[in-house]
Amino acid sequence: MCGRYILVQKLEKLEARYNANAVPGLEFNPSYNISPGKTSLIISTDAPDKITPAVFGLTPFWAKKEMYLFNARAEGDRNKANDPNFKGAKDIINKPSFRKPIRTQRCLVPADAFIEGTTEEGLSKPFLVFLKNKQRPFSFAGIYDDWLNPETGETIRSFSIITTTANELLQKIPHHRSPVILTPYQEKKWLSSKTALTDITDMLNAFDANLMDAYPISDKIKSPKNDDASLIKAVGSNLNPDNEINIKDSLHRQGFGRNNRHF
């Protein structure tokens, strides 16, 4: 699953990257530890030229209370064993919480990196996972919904990140799932209302592990209250050390800590 991720880009860079404008009055606080319940940024099908705030953790429109469904399995109820070689149907289209959003309420979720723990120990043994070659920000495949809070009358937009089978890098951690990461070409198709559902589900695959890297970080990431650059400092070696690229300086300019050796 993907329950924590990082976004520290300046709004100006996000606007240029996505050819979209931040909605008026948007207050964005860069974060090294975006966790369920926190507000982050999305670009949605109903406003593909806007960068808007939304809560990480989807609440279906029909829910009686907030639910924070932060991940949506591409396979739905299939592949319960999380077989990385699974080739069956993408049953997300039939899940009550997701069958409407996957058809008409999709979004891009900008991120600079994400955090995964091991399957057995979770965030007690976390790894920072990122794309090589300065691919920041990249986009998770997301879905969103709008929920009316019956107590306050406020409409809350929230989102889930879609997950799929683990690629070779995630298996090294080892972790049993991968978030779906879209290429820039796929992003436009993902947001288009004209894209056929079969083409949408065809995108729900693991990203190329050769284009990714990861390294272990402190378990301080477990606490959502912790949110600073020290969280991404490496405490071990990269999992994909070949062709390692030193991108420390560029990340520092975007807000990352200068003391980190790898990311």
Q: Annotated catalytic sites, by residue?
A: 2, 116
- Whole-number Å distance between alpha carbons of 249 and 238: 18
Q: Which residues contact 128 (CB under 8 A, 6 or more apart)?
A: 6, 113, 114, 115, 214, 215, 216, 217, 232, 234, 263
Round to whole Å and give the CA distance between 195 and 74: 17
Quick check: 228 and 203 in contact, CB under 8 A? no
Specify the amino acid at residue 19: N
Q: 103: Cβ–Cβ under 8 A, 6 or more apart, which residues?
A: 93, 197, 200
